[in-house]
Structure 1
């Protein structure tokens, strides 16, 4: 997926209404930039970020929003560490040395569990690539010509536009020895192909943007919400007509209600405000636990569209 920091709420590209009827909605999550504030060491912060990456990949999350939390105190480096490791783990191994030179944020990358999602294909003999195959690559410029590095042991001519160092999904249009690549479209990719990470200035602006997109269903997780079981029927019906499902999580020390109130929202205007863990026996549910548990609960509801 791309790594830009722009954050518009958009519909799917190149899809007709009949196509969308047969597709599960895009699943998006939003977590605060203070997500790592309850961890003391860089090692623990790195491991926690990897838990977010794994949970999102298990349940096919396509977009992770990182919103600013104005209430919590956290280290200045935390948001950088969070987005860097999330993007690093989503990147196939054969591209990591190209896209991520040695950097401070990746000090503990070696101990993090890999995602092993479908787009993390192993290195492949270039002679075995077939027309129509799709891989993640990086654009490389050699003597003014564009090529793509895609873990094949050799560069492949790239027919398209782009800049050197751009991460891109490519489709091969002809087999070896005349292998050529073009940028892949959504219709070329039938498997889960990872997530993109976008930063937003506030949860309020994120909610306001969603309000302008009626095809996006928003779920705010909160202890102040109603039980999931009481919302399941209505949520299932809403998801049947949704292109996107956005799940917003609070911070380790502050809920979404408190954060939104600080930003000027007098009442929560999200379509669904749900308590995903009624009757919890622990004083708190940690953010990484909330993400994994919530996505697991929602999984059957989202898949029921199909």
Structure 2
């Protein structure tokens, strides 16, 4: 299956007034991304909108926090203001969010997400089993890493798992980019879908889009800001939309606007049902 990516602006929270509402909105993003197997979330700078200085950091932090298994959160996320309302946010419960497990039941070949820990010069991983596991690899202490157990209990050992060894959906990564123009010019072997009210109706390009996706390794879906569309943002950056697919996912909408969290969930649902599930 193709790698599915989304791009959202750092002004995504500009239509919310309180940190509580912003946190809840980010959780909706995270849930939608996990439901539809998004592997990468790009956050690009919006040069047009006005928003609070802390909003981009809030967006990045909560997205990463919610993608992190619960047993690692206290290690990776000390008390911080961005997580003030983390306790009310709905969990993702993706496959890499493993539940508590008796260490004696771990088998060779099992995969878990962990954090590298150094004890007396030796490397271990904390993987939520109640005991550190020797780590056959390298990396700085505190690094989040996916590991594969190479020996079962009572001689547990682990190594870093490669992408090919992970056969389930294993969450998303979050990347910040300085501009949308730079993002679009840097990606290769990728079908770019720009969402816009001025675009073609999805049904009119559905067949062609499906054929292009079959030929490509990655799919990137770009969303605009609460107040400005992708076309306006790119124009401010000094360029125009040149993507092959500029798509209106909500023809004949009855509301004045489609909120970003609604656009992400609706768009991913339509594309998944129409195209990705058939490839």
Distance across 2 between alignment mates of 1:78 and 1:261: 23
State the match for 1:189 in structure 2: 166
TM-score calculated relative to the size of structure 1? 0.90
Q: Is 1:159 aligned to residue 136 of structure 2?
A: yes
Match of 1:252 among 226, 235, 238: 226
**What pairs up with 1:105-254 in 2 under 5 angstroms?**
105-210=82-187, 213=188, 215-254=189-228
Match of 1:290 among 258, 263, 269: 263
TM-score calculated relative to the size of structure 2? 0.99
Q: Where does the alignment leave 5 or more consecutive residues of structure 1 unmatched?
A: 1-23
Match of 1:54 among 31, 41, 60: 31
- 1:233 counterpart SS class: helix
State the number of aligned residues.
278
Structure 1: 4+ residue segments shifted above 4 A: none
Q: Deviations over 1:135-155 (max 9, x none)?
A: 000000000110000000000
- 2:91 counterpart SS class: coil
Deviation, structure 1 residue 238: 0.3
Distance across 1 between alignment mates of 2:212 and 2:190: 9
Match of 2:254 among 281, 286, 290: 281
- 1:205 counterpart SS class: helix
Deviation, structure 1 residue 177: 1.0
- 1:197 counterpart SS class: strand
Distance across 2 between alignment mates of 1:101 and 1:83: 15
- 2:57 counterpart SS class: helix
Q: Where does the alignment leave 5 or more consecutive residues of structure 2 unmatched?
A: none
Distance across 2 between alignment mates of 1:283 and 1:270: 25
Distance across 2 between alignment mates of 1:230 and 1:76: 40
- 2:20 counterpart SS class: helix
Alpha-carbon RMSD: 0.5
Distance across 1 between alignment mates of 2:244 and 2:110: 40
Distance across 2 between alignment mates of 1:248 and 1:302: 17
- 1:162 counterpart SS class: coil
